Amino acid sequence: MNPLQDRIDQWRKMAQDDPDNELGHYRLGQFLMEAKQYSEAVASFRHALEVNPHFSKVYQLLATCHLELQERPEAIQVLHQGFAVAQERGDNIPREEMGKMLVQLGEKLPEVKEEKGAVGPATGFRCQRPGCFAGRQARQLPAPPRGLDKELGERIYANVCSECWNDWLKNMSIKVINELRLDLSTERGAEEYDRHLREFLGLE
């Protein structure tokens, strides 16, 4: 049994069954990268950006794949696009990483504009889930979700916005249970459910 190939197969099926789910293409691309299947990873990341062009982290990984494939011009173009997206959304970590990559490639670092006003609503909450659509307008959950391990619930409360949590609860969790035929009354089913939840919310 090859655990990595199993993960690739699982996420490939999810991406095929739900082509408008950018997280499916994103996670598939990540596992393909891990398997050094860079050409296929490029295709997956491009699908993710077609669904959600504001998914700043994808630009960083897509550029990395282009570099692994010795496609320097493509990588530079993607990094410039991704840097602009990350700057506009306030995604500082991907922006900084793409900036470092551009400098290493001998490119001039794009001008960083000063952020004005609050980052988000009154609390300034910033969702850490990759591909969050809410951006600076992310709203924090009113309390840690119930029915989960206490530590996991606290991490979700601290790092994931209400929009992304509801997306998991009302959409992706149902697909995971149905596609993988999980029996949540068993230890294995519960563990698999929690693993997909962490992956979807970027809490690995």
> pLDDT tens digits for 43-71?
999 999 998 898 888 999 999 999 999 99
The residue type of 54 is H
Question: What is the chain's mean pLDDT, rounded?
Answer: 86
Per CATH, which fold does 119-204 belong to? YggX-like (1.10.3880)
| Contact call for residues 59 and 130 (beta carbons, < 8 A) | no
Q: What share of the chain is helix, strand, coil (3-state, %, to 5)?
A: 65, 0, 35
CA–CA distance from 42 to each of 22, 25, 60, 117 (Å)?
A: 14, 10, 11, 36
Check pLDDT > 90 for residue 173.
Answer: no
CA–chain centroid gap for 175, Å, is: 18
Both tokens assigned to 39: 């050409």
| Residue 112 confidence class, pLDDT cut points 50, 70, 90 | low
Phi, psi (rounded to 5 degrees) for 95: -60, -45
**Range from 22-31, 35-44, 124-133 carrying the lowest mean pLDDT:** 124-133
Q: For residues 193 and 36, which has the higher predicted lDDT (pLDDT)?
A: 36
Check pLDDT > 80 for residue 124.
Answer: no
CA–chain centroid gap for 69, Å, is: 22
Check pLDDT > 90 for residue 13.
Answer: no
Question: Residue 100 and residue 143: Cα distance in Å, rounded?
Answer: 37
Both tokens assigned to 17: 């069954």
SS3 track for 10-57: HHHHHHHHCCCCHHHHHHHHHHHHHCCCHHHHHHHHHHHHHHCCCCHH
Average pLDDT over residues 145-153: 87
Both tokens assigned to 82: 């991704």
* Dmax (CA) of the chain: 55
